Structure 1
Amino acid sequence: MSGTRKILMLGNGFDLAHFLPTKYDHFMHAMRNVENYNKGVSMTFESLYTDLINSENYFFDNTAKLYKTEEATLLLEEVKDLQYNLKKNGWFQYFKSYIDSGIDTWIDFENEMEIALDAICHIIGELENDAEYLYIPRGHNTLALHEKIFDKNTIRKYPFIDEFLKSFSVAQRGFTQYGNHMIFNKSFVKYYSGQPVNICSSCLLKHLEEDLMCFIKIFSQYIAFIDRLEIKNSLKKPEVFEKDLDAIYSFNYSSTIDRLYNHSNISFIHGKANNNKIVLGISELQNQVLIDNKAYGFVKYYQKLVNNTDYQFLRPKSPIVAIENKLKSPSLTKYHPIEIYIWGHSLDSSDSDYIHEIFSFNQDQKYSLRVIVYYYSQPHAQLSNLIAILGKDTVENWMKNKWLEFIETPDIQKLNFDDSYIDNSTSKFSKTVIKPEETRNIAFA
Structure 2
Amino acid sequence: MVMMEMRNTLEEMDNKKILIVGNGFDLAHNLRTRYSDVLEVFKNWKSFYGSYRNRKTDTEFVEKIADNTQNALESYYSKNLEKLDKLIEKNSWIAYYSGCRAELDLWIDFERELVPVLDIFDFILSADINFEDGSIKFERNSFFKFNCFFYRYFTILNNKIFVRNDYIDSNYGLKKKKLLRDLKNEFLEFIEALEIYFYEFVEKASDVHPISQIRKIEPNYIISFNYTHTEKYYGIDNVHHIHGVIRDDLDCGSNNMVLGVNDYDNKDFIYFVKYFQRIQKHCGVDYKNFVNEPCIFKSSDEFDKEYNDYELYIYGHSLDETDKDVLKFVIGDFDDRNQFQMKARKVIIYYYDQQDFELKVINLITLFGRDIVEKNMDDNKIIFIKIDSNID
TM-score bucket of the superposed structures, by smaller chain? 0.7 to 0.9
1:296 and 1:22 map into 2 onto residues whose CA distance is 26
The answer to whether the 8 A contact 2:63-2:69 is kept is no
Q: Report how far residue 30 of structure 1 moved.
A: 0.7
The Cα RMSD (Å) is 3.3
Match of 1:265 among 228, 235, 238: 238
- Which letter maps to 2:374? E
2:287 counterpart of 1:301: no
After the TM superposition, which residues 38-187 of structure 1 pair with which residues of structure 2 at under 5 Å, given as runs? 39=50, 41-42=52-53, 50=61, 53=64, 64=67, 68=68, 70-73=70-73, 74-100=76-102, 102-125=103-126, 127-128=127-128, 131=129, 134=130, 136-137=132-133, 143-145=134-136, 149-151=137-139, 154-155=140-141, 159=142, 161-169=143-151, 173-175=152-154, 183-187=162-166
- Which letter maps to 1:266? V
Q: Report how far residue 91 of structure 1 moved.
A: 1.1
2:382 counterpart of 1:404: yes
Aligned position for 1:8: 19
Match of 1:255 among 226, 229, 254: 229
The answer to whether the 8 A contact 1:34-1:48 is kept is no
2:360 counterpart of 1:385: no
1:306 and 1:357 map into 2 onto residues whose CA distance is 21
The answer to whether the 8 A contact 1:320-1:368 is kept is no
2:314 counterpart of 1:312: no
The alpha-carbon distance between structure 1 residues 216 and 366, as it changes in their structure 2 partners (threshold 3 A), is closer
Q: 1:130-174: CA deviations, max 9, x gaps?
A: x4xx3535xxxxx244xxx343xx11xxx2x223132121xxx32
Q: 1:247-279: CA deviations, max 9, x gaps?
A: 111110011111x33322211111112152110
Q: Report how far residue 52 of structure 1 moved.
A: 9.0
Q: 1:63-116: CA deviations, max 9, x gaps?
A: 73xxx554112344433321211122111111211241x321111111110122
- Identity percentage of aligned residues: 26
SS at match of 2:347: strand
**Segment drifting more, 296-305 vs 273-282:** 273-282
The alpha-carbon distance between structure 1 residues 4 and 49, as it changes in their structure 2 partners (threshold 3 A), is farther
- Which letter maps to 1:404? I
SS at match of 2:318: coil
Q: Report how far residue 388 of structure 1 moved.
A: 1.3
The answer to whether the 8 A contact 1:29-1:51 is kept is no
The answer to whether the 8 A contact 1:45-1:72 is kept is no
Aligned position for 2:258: 279
Match of 2:192 among 217, 221, 232: 217
2:348 counterpart of 1:372: yes
- Which letter maps to 2:32? P
Q: 1:19-68: CA deviations, max 9, x gaps?
A: 11011100011122224546274487978971894xxxxxx8xx73xxx5
2:212 counterpart of 1:238: yes
The alpha-carbon distance between structure 1 residues 175 and 198, as it changes in their structure 2 partners (threshold 3 A), is same
1:180 and 1:224 map into 2 onto residues whose CA distance is 42
Q: Report how far residue 390 of structure 1 moved.
A: 2.0
The alpha-carbon distance between structure 1 residues 301 and 361, as it changes in their structure 2 partners (threshold 3 A), is closer
**Segment drifting more, 249-258 vs 397-406:** 397-406
1:212 and 1:365 map into 2 onto residues whose CA distance is 39
2:281 and 2:188 map into 1 onto residues whose CA distance is 12
- Which letter maps to 2:292? V
Q: Report how far residue 336 of structure 1 moved.
A: 7.9
The alpha-carbon distance between structure 1 residues 373 and 162, as it changes in their structure 2 partners (threshold 3 A), is same
- Name stretches of at least 5 consecutive residues in structure 2 with no aligned partner: 1-11, 248-253, 302-306
2:205 counterpart of 1:229: yes
1:121 and 1:200 map into 2 onto residues whose CA distance is 13
The alpha-carbon distance between structure 1 residues 81 and 185, as it changes in their structure 2 partners (threshold 3 A), is same
Q: Report how far residue 386 of structure 1 moved.
A: 1.6
Match of 2:320 among 335, 348, 353: 348
- Which letter maps to 1:136? E
Q: 1:221-257: CA deviations, max 9, x gaps?
A: 11111111252xx735424423742111111001111
The answer to whether the 8 A contact 1:24-1:106 is kept is yes
The alpha-carbon distance between structure 1 residues 39 and 388, as it changes in their structure 2 partners (threshold 3 A), is same
State how many pairs are aligned.
360
2:58 and 2:181 map into 1 onto residues whose CA distance is 35
